[in-house]
Chain A
Amino acid sequence: MKSYKVLFVGSPGSGKTTAIRTISDVEVVDTDTKVSDSTIKRKRTTTVGMDYGKLSLGEDKVLHLYGTPGQERFKFMWDLMVSDLANDASALILLVDNTRNYPFRDIDYYLSEFWDFIVKRHFIIAVTRSDLAAEPTEADYQNRLKEKGIFAPIIFIDARKSMDVMDLVVSALNQEDDIDWAEISHRVAVTELKNRNPDPNSPQFEWLRKTRDVPKISIIEAAMQVRGISGATHLDNNQKLLDTSSNTLECNELFSSLAKLAAAIENKAPQLEQVRNISLHAPQKDSISVFLEPDQALGLLTLPALTHKQIRQQAEDLLQWSDNVENTQEA
């Protein structure tokens, strides 16, 4: 039996689990659990270990589909997968959620994290949710990769559609010329049709129930559901208050004055890099952090036990998912 492997990576909610589930012949082994962080803004459950699915490519060939957890706090799983489980994978497919405010930043991040793995394998970028956000366009992505000197297929997909995901798989294994892709695609399409009306007692039905639309909540509401965050304030590009969980004036004024300071530094010393974060700490006292983007800022009041890495990851995802800014190509 000849085995092939493909690894799906990408930000939380980019569609990794859905893509694997869409084409897998077997019930996907997932490690989904109820969301307990900023991902609540996007979905009810999230992968905490890994996803695994399998697609038969004929009598003597099989494709193993692996998906990493999206959150950076499960990075140990990324390391485990690239060094062991999926070390012999033929390709890495990066799923990029087009509705995130700074999707190019995700590409830069995952390129940097998986670079050693990518250079030896096929690398494909799959853009998801473009039905909800038309920009950046394919040309924008191509220009961005060109600037970075990277040549990779960019395929816009709907991770819920089997034929779209099959496009990725065909591209990932395009060097294999003895696979009957027409037969496999037909089989996958038939399975997809069958799954449209699943038995209410089946795992497929349970999956659809879990992934039903998530009620829209603000980034402040999402932030306040993260364990360890005790206050959050969202500011616009002029450091004006958009939304806050805190009615205490002094805290909001502090967030605003720190964001203003960042703007002042950029005006005074334009030769320096952009101010991304300002934070204040003391033992036994809540930390104060302001995360800055060109078009918005997020202030967080967090318990002292939360590490910088944990705070930063939550803040970055919240800023990627805020609704009040235009989808931008800023990195």
Chain B
Amino acid sequence: MSKILKKLEGMAGTDSSAIMSNKRPIASTFDKDEAVILKLAQQAFTHIFKQADKADALKPAGSENIQAYDEAHLQLGQRRLLCFRIEENTFYICILPQNSDIHKAQKIIRGALPVLKKIADTSSVQTAQD
């Protein structure tokens, strides 16, 4: 699975990436030194989406598009953490280095979301069987 993540990183211009499900990585290219960033990112993005969903829920019915936010960014200094919500508690998280093309990364990762979802689904089936 890491090979697929690496390939996606090459195409999107991102550095380390991971698929996190229920707070645990099911596939990751983050090294040990970056584990703290991944953990913090997972917690932060969970909070960000929770707050966004809460704000959406408060809006009067039919007032705006009911689609939920599925992408969040956290910029730390010149680096950017990108997160795509694959399912309720499943995220794809990656690091975008300084001076990268954000638009290109967004487009490529968004295009790869069905594949990432498949990886997440396969992994959860395997976990259930184990």
Contacts and interface: CB of A to CB of B under 8 A. Distances in A.
B103 A308 contact: yes
A250 interface: yes
A1 interface: no
**What band does the interface of chain B fall in when counting residues whose beta carbon is under 8 Å from A?**
20 to 34
Interface in A137-176: none
Interface string A107-124: 000000000000000000
A108 to B, nearest CB: 11
Interface residues of A, number: 31
Contact of A282 (B48, B54, B58, B71): B71
Interface string B62-88: 001101111111111111000000000
A249 interface: yes
Interface in A263-286: 265, 268-269, 272-286
Interface in B65-118: 65, 67-79, 102-103, 106, 110
Contacts of A269: 36, 40
B37 interface: yes
Nearest to B39: A269
A124 B31 CA distance: 44
Contacts of B36: 269
B74 A278 contact: yes
A309 interface: yes
Nearest to A292: B75
Interface of B: 36-37, 40, 44, 47-48, 51-52, 54-56, 58-59, 64-65, 67-79, 102-103, 106, 110
6 contacts: A250-B56, A261-B47, A278-B73, A278-B74, A281-B70, A282-B65
